[in-house]
């Protein structure tokens, strides 16, 4: 039985490199791994776990699965996850579901065959669920817990409450909520609707909710915006479950000559593009930096077999802007 020193000598590398290879620390090129592996075989320096660690080596790659990145929210999420992962010496293998998540299972299988060390998943569909039920370190992002995965979400319930209160505080008496898929329990919108409804009903106002139907629920919400103005011609406030939806509502309002915020007050959710809208949009803000850092920390902790918090919920705040408060001395963000 030979020593690690002999292996290093035979492979023509330092002892450190051999031990880093054995412990999967730092970056060792595939060819050098191969050389070291050969040297071990020839010197018969090869306990089983080493052989295994060399075939199933860590790749320091994390698979990130999102429904879209041309949605500003997920663009911000992917940007922050990428930053965090790079800071920890990991790379991001990104999967963007093409509208449907149908090919996600194949992709997850690919990721496996490609030996990602873990996954951060912002998709939620039965097909994906099934695939995620095994030992691979995984974190579910911005989807309610399901399938017992560790989850990072924001306090969507409170977000709905904040939006409702803002509309009431600004004097809205015929408010409407606009969003989609709130029937699906594991979508964040569900909790937002619940918080909105609670608050409106507690204040003695009807919780008018206009649900965007499936065929209008995509990147272009102009059709949904037109319909809500037809359904509620006299609405004086509207809470949209995303800033993107809100931007189409404001577009439709300007087109109809409806003045914001004088005649219609608008509140969005996510606060990613809200500050850039032609009419700066009041929006419920999620602490994305903290949420993304937590997701990355959680997946790395699982990889390193450390204890984790299984369900993390982060507080939201309200960014008040022109769409509810009008142009004030500074039109720029006032945090609650």
Residues that bind a second copy (CB under 8 A): 27-31, 34, 55-57, 59, 61, 68-70, 72, 75-76, 78-79, 82-83, 86, 91-96, 98, 103, 107, 109-115, 220, 222, 244, 247-248, 250-251, 254-255, 272, 275-280, 322, 327, 331-332
Residue 74 or 196 with smaller CB distance to a second copy:
74
In this structure, the strands spanning 118-121 and 91-96 are: unpaired
Q: What residues are paired with 154 via a beta bridge?
A: 314
Q: How far is the CB of 82 from a second copy (least distance, A)?
A: 4
Rounded distance, CA 79 to CA 68, Å? 13
| 317-320 sheet: strands from edge to edge | 208-212, 175-180, 237-240, 265-270, 282-285, 317-320, 334-335
- C-alpha 105: how far from chain center: 19
Residue 64 or 164 with smaller CB distance to a second copy:
64
Q: How far is the CB of 249 from a second copy (least distance, A)?
A: 9
- Closest by CA position to 243, among listed 178, 325, 149: 178
Q: How far is the CB of 95 from a second copy (least distance, A)?
A: 7
Q: How far is the CB of 246 from a second copy (least distance, A)?
A: 10
Q: How far is the CB of 57 from a second copy (least distance, A)?
A: 8
Residue 45 or 107 with smaller CB distance to a second copy:
107
Residue 255 or 336 with smaller CB distance to a second copy:
255
**Sheet strands (E) in 52-186:** 61-66, 91-96, 118-121, 138-141, 151-154, 175-180
- Bin 208: left if φ > 0, else alpha if -120 < ψ < 50, else beta: beta
């Amino acid at each position: 039985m030979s020593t690690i020193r002999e292996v290093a000598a035979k492979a023509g590398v330092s002892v450190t490199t051999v031990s880093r290879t054995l412990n999967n620390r730092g970056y060792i090129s595939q060819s050098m791994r191969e050389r070291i592996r050969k040297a071990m075989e020839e010197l018969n320096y090869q306990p089983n776990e080493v052989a295994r660690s060399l075939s199933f080596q860590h790749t320091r790659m994390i698979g990130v699965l999102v429904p879209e990145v041309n949605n500003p929210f997920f663009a911000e999420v992917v940007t922050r996850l990428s930053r965090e992962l790079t800071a920890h010496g990991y790379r991001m293998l990104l999967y963007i579901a093409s509208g449907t998540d149908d090919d996600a299972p194949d992709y997850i299988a690919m990721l496996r065959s490609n030996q990602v060390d873990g996954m951060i998943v912002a998709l939620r569909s039965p097909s994906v669920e099934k695939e995620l039920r095994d030992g691979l370190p995984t974190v579910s992002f911005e989807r309610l817990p399901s399938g017992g995965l560790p989850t990072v979400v924001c306090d969507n319930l409170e977000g709905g409450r904040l939006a409702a209160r803002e509309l009431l505080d600004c004097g809205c008496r015929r408010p409407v909520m606009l969003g989609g898929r709130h029937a699906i329990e594991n979508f964040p919108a569900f909790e937002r609707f619940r918080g909105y409804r609670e608050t409106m009903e507690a204040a003695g106002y009807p919780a008018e909710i206009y649900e965007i139907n499936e065929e209008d629920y995509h990147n272009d919400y102009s059709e949904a915006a037109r319909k809500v103005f037809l359904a509620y011609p006299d609405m004086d406030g509207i809470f949209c479950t995303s800033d993107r939806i809100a931007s189409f509502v404001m577009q439709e309002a300007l087109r109809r000559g409806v003045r914001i915020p004088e005649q219609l007050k608008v509140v969005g959710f996510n606060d990613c593009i809200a500050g850039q809208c032609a009419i700066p949009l009041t929006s419920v803000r999620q602490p994305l930096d903290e949420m993304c850092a937590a997701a990355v920390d959680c997946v790395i902790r699982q990889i390193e077999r450390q204890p984790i918090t299984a369900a993390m919920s982060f507080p939201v705040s309200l960014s008040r802007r022109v769409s509810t408060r009008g142009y004030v001395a500074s039109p720029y963000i006032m945090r609650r």
